[in-house]
């Protein structure tokens, strides 16, 4: 276990002294786990981005290109910063990572100013880049806290924070229907919404920081036990080992430990790492595109007069959260690489099916959103579990953070392609007081996205056949 860094010690010293004098190690572990889970319940405001876009279009005059630039900037913040955040967490402790969470406050304040004063759309894009980065810091700190506290139960310790993060978007989707978040015309009041989120994140960021401090207390206690004449001794916190074990349980493994840096170097040299990265770029990119463009999809797919952006966000979020819980339990029950890969193929198949239905202009967008939400939730639940199985839970911050940079590139690439197609080919006319599109214009882009999803799933399965099956 890495020693406590000077930065981590300075940021947590006083609260560690206060709490460690009053609570036992078991209590500290439990409360760290609970607080980390609770903070996940407010982290996913970015998942409701599509609920903001109608007002961006109506009040600020944004087109789909600008909307997707803003969404892409948010994805860059969410994903591209994760390798750095993961390295910070693994090397300097989760407490430094949790402080990034506080950037959500100025991020939403800047977004409010950009909306109120109709500033250049690049200001809004930068605001959502900050929001995305801070969201990643908050969510990643919670996820890693849970994964490190109960590493022997990867399926549940990883899937529970993932599921609650997804449930957070459900809560926001319903909350934003309240009168406080509506203007006089019954549309979303962006100013009230953004300022509310800025205030809420002050409190959640504080709790997230406390949870990370508790994690440092645990690390300090475990390090103090090393070398002492105790009934317990620390050894390698691998993917299946608890944090405290009797001395008689493989204590000699301490001498055989590889450093985190060495393990990460081996990870970077692994050919299947590159293939997995490409797969996540293809699949994660189009998933984020769907989430960011539910507003425009509601105007085109199926029966637009029956579609509602808020309804699509709710259906997507509920489906995603429900399936995250199921996928986490099933994955934890199997706890086997081969079955986990098989389960992942089924999840990616749901995403593929949803894009095919958009390509053929299926009548019921609600069903498409439910399928895409289920595929998204289960994929993002099972993938980090698979990464922990293949490369180990002790460097999960670095490995999973590295992989999550892929969707940011995919989101930017596919988002721009979608926006260009929509703004040039989706021509509408006014009929009976409604905007009606002259012909269906999304067959080509979503046919391409479905093909990319199939290729991404096939790449993962190829990794299993060529390499992962021989490691287990």
Rounded Cα gap, residues 112 and 117, in angstroms = 9
Do 412 and 76 form a contact (C-beta atoms < 8 A)?
Answer: yes
Position 443 scores a pLDDT of 93
Could you give all domains of the chain from N- to C-terminal order, each with its CATH number? 6-471 (1.20.1250.20)
Rounded Cα gap, residues 25 and 148, in angstroms = 14
Do 287 and 456 form a contact (C-beta atoms < 8 A)?
Answer: no
458: three-class secondary structure by DSSP: helix
Position 429 scores a pLDDT of 64
- Residue by residue, pLDDT tens for the chain (472 residues) are 455 556 666 666 666 677 767 777 777 778 878 888 888 888 889 989 999 999 999 999 999 999 999 999 998 898 888 778 777 776 777 777 778 888 889 999 999 999 999 999 999 999 999 999 999 888 888 887 787 777 666 666 777 887 788 888 889 988 998 999 998 888 899 999 999 999 999 998 888 887 777 666 656 655 554 444 444 343 333 433 333 333 333 444 343 345 677 888 888 899 999 999 999 999 999 999 999 999 899 989 988 888 888 899 999 989 988 888 888 788 777 778 888 899 999 999 999 999 999 999 999 999 999 999 999 989 988 998 899 889 887 788 788 878 988 888 898 899 999 999 998 888 776 555 556 677 789 999 999 999 999 999 999 999 999 899 887 6
With a CB cutoff of 8 Å and minimum separation 6, the contacts of 346 are 378
Rounded Cα gap, residues 173 and 164, in angstroms = 14
CB atoms within 10 A of CB 229: 6
Query: What are the C-alpha distances in Å from 412 to residues 9, 50, 193?
Result: 38, 16, 26
**What is the separation of C-alpha 39 from the centre of its chain, rounded to a whole number of angstroms?**
14
Position 447 scores a pLDDT of 95
With a CB cutoff of 8 Å and minimum separation 6, the contacts of 281 are 406, 407, 409, 410, 456
Rounded Cα gap, residues 407 and 277, in angstroms = 9
Rounded Cα gap, residues 225 and 461, in angstroms = 43
Rounded Cα gap, residues 407 and 2, in angstroms = 30
Position 279 scores a pLDDT of 95
111: three-class secondary structure by DSSP: helix
Query: What are the C-alpha distances in Å from 137 to residues 14, 72, 151, 267?
Result: 23, 18, 21, 23
Per-residue DSSP letters for 393-406?
A: GGGHHHHHHHHTTH
* C-alpha distance across the termini of the chain, in Å: 25
Do 392 and 339 form a contact (C-beta atoms < 8 A)?
Answer: no
Query: What are the C-alpha distances in Å from 13 to residues 101, 186, 210, 215, 255?
Result: 20, 49, 12, 12, 30
Rounded Cα gap, residues 384 and 403, in angstroms = 9
Position 254 scores a pLDDT of 42
Query: What are the C-alpha distances in Å from 279 to residues 13, 84, 453?
Result: 42, 21, 8
Do 408 and 79 form a contact (C-beta atoms < 8 A)?
Answer: yes
Position 211 scores a pLDDT of 77
Rounded Cα gap, residues 243 and 147, in angstroms = 11
Rounded Cα gap, residues 327 and 214, in angstroms = 29
246: three-class secondary structure by DSSP: strand
Position 218 scores a pLDDT of 58
Position 240 scores a pLDDT of 39
350: which DSSP letter?
A: H
């Amino acid at each position: 276990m890495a020693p406590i860094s000077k930065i981590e010690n300075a940021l947590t010293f006083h609260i560690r002294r206060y709490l460690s004098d009053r609570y036992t190690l078991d209590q500290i572990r439990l409360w760290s786990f609970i607080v980390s889970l609770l903070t996940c319940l407010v982290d996913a405001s970015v998942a409701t981005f599509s609920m903001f876009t109608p007002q961006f279009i109506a009040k600020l005059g944004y087109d789909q290109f600008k909307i997707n630039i803003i969404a892409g900037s948010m994805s860059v913040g969410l994903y591209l910063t994760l390798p750095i955040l993961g390295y910070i967490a693994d090397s300097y402790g989760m407490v430094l990572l949790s402080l990034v969470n506080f950037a959500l406050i100025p991020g939403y304040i800047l977004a409010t100013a950009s909306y109120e004063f109709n500033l250049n759309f690049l200001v809004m894009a930068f605001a959502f880049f900050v929001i995305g980065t801070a969201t990643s810091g908050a969510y990643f700190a919670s996820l890693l806290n849970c994964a490190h506290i109960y590493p022997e139960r990867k399926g549940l310790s990883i899937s529970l924070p993932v599921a609650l993060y997804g449930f957070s978007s459900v809560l926001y989707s319903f909350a934003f229907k309240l009168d406080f978040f509506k203007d006089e015309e019954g549309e979303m009041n962006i100013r009230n919404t953004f300022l509310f989120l800025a205030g809420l994140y002050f409190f959640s960021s504080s709790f997230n920081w406390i949870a990370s401090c508790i994690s440092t207390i645990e690390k300090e206690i475990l390090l103090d036990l090393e070398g002492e004449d105790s009934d317990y001794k620390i050894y390698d916190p691998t993917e299946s080992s608890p944090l405290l074990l009797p001395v008689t349980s493989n204590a000699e493994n301490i001498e055989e430990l590889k450093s985190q840096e060495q393990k990460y170097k081996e990870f970077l040299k692994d050919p299947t790492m590159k293939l997995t990265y490409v797969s996540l770029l293809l699949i994660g990119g189009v998933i984020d595109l769907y989430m960011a463009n539910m507003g425009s999809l509601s105007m085109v797919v199926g029966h637009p007069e029956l579609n509602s952006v808020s309804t699509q966000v709710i259906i997507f979020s509920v489906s995603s959260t429900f399936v995250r819980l199921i996928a986490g339990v099933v994955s934890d029950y199997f706890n086997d690489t081969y079955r986990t890969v098989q389960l992942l193929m089924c999840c990616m198949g749901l995403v593929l099916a949803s894009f095919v239905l958009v390509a053929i202009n299926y009548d019921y967008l609600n069903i498409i959103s439910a399928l895409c939400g289920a595929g998204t939730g289960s994929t993002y639940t099972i993938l980090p579990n698979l990464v922990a199985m293949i490369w180990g839970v002790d460097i999960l911050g670095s490995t999973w953070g590295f992989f999550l940079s892929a969707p940011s590139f995919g989101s930017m690439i596919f988002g721009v392609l979608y926006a260009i197609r929509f703004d040039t080919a989706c021509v509408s006319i006014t009929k009976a007081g409604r905007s009606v599109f002259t012909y269906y214009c999304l067959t080509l882009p979503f046919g391409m996205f479905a093909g990319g999803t199939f290729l991404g799933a096939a790449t993962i399965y190829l990794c299993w056949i060529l390499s992962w099956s021989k490691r287990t």
